Structure 1
């Protein structure tokens, strides 16, 4: 089968590799659609550590179950499924509480184990969810990551309520969905911040009221002015850089909430 593999030195190759075999408790999925996440781009550019190379990239995907391993009873060959972005242990305190994203032994597809940028991928059956016939594979591929990550930030962590002002720093795939969801939850004024004109156009289409170029002079003042009052009630950061996390903290209204969703290796400094 064909697969996209990442090698040392940020080298990507499309090559023929053997089809993986499903073991006990596992399924094999014939991938029909895969999403490209910002994390994939960071890993490919050497900005995030990838422990074992080469590896087949990709942690967003949806497809059709084509083999079922011993002991799997809740999925069958032919089922339409989407894949969770990582395998979790299921036994730690975080997993037991349902906080799978905090599992210390999580194995992210496309980084710690082979991922979805291939014709087929093997995964624990616990990592797959049934996908209704009415949901296209292209949509299902990003539901468990780009959409679910934004929903968790906007609804669960930030708890956005009707009438609040929201700023989103970083309007790529996840930031785009954060804007959509914030609008659905009743945010009164949404400010989008990005250095890409294309990202800002998509942010406007998603429902942002004000679009700001992140490269502008004194962007902190611009965000607070655009949000009205003494700044946005909620700032959500989806870049993962020291400067953007610090910008989020500096921009939020007194008593507001800052949600850091970006992934990066830099450590921000917290002010007094």
Structure 2
């Protein structure tokens, strides 16, 4: 290679490196330039996201209000059916998923998770007054359900395999449909994370009751984004805000308000047990 070609190759290499560095900050730059952070969620997941008197309410809205203040941007929530949320993220249709989603080893290998914002250990919800279910193993021989494509449904299926009698498992498009089926007697129990069913039972104590204790491995809820260089700077900045909220007590106060108690969750990156 002559000197002229060497210089040309060097220039091309430097240009490629510069382009790569620019690309790695694109997601953060785009949000700052537009002044809007696009957050996908399913507003059928109380107490994290739901409608109250026609308006969005829940822990996600409260947390991202703080994120918006810290970043100096507006938060735009995009309400979608849960099965379409992760495909939409991968297609680049929005910046981050609020969900929140249970951190699993399989998901962690595919997505970038932020600092967990709540515990998510799975438990069962039953009809109030149903004395045939006093503990999780009592669903043997009965019918139970959960949200389609959810980690809670997967946990229910795995747990059912350990019981002496088979459990008929039914999948629902969202949790509200599962709760409606439970209330009407079409199923005997719904599997969901303890914060979710605890909130539902507190709102409708004459209809529902939580089955104690929870079952399965301890787990945690977190927000997530695409695991690529372009998204990472934005996710890192949001994670810094969540850690700041954890340290100054704002996260604990919001947990008490929406989940009934402050929750001890891991800091930053951690290895899930599930």
- TM-score relative to the length of structure 2: 0.29
Which has the larger helix fraction? 2
- State the structure with bigger RCO (CA 8 A, min sep 6), 1 or 2: 2
Question: Which structure has the larger Rg?
Answer: 2
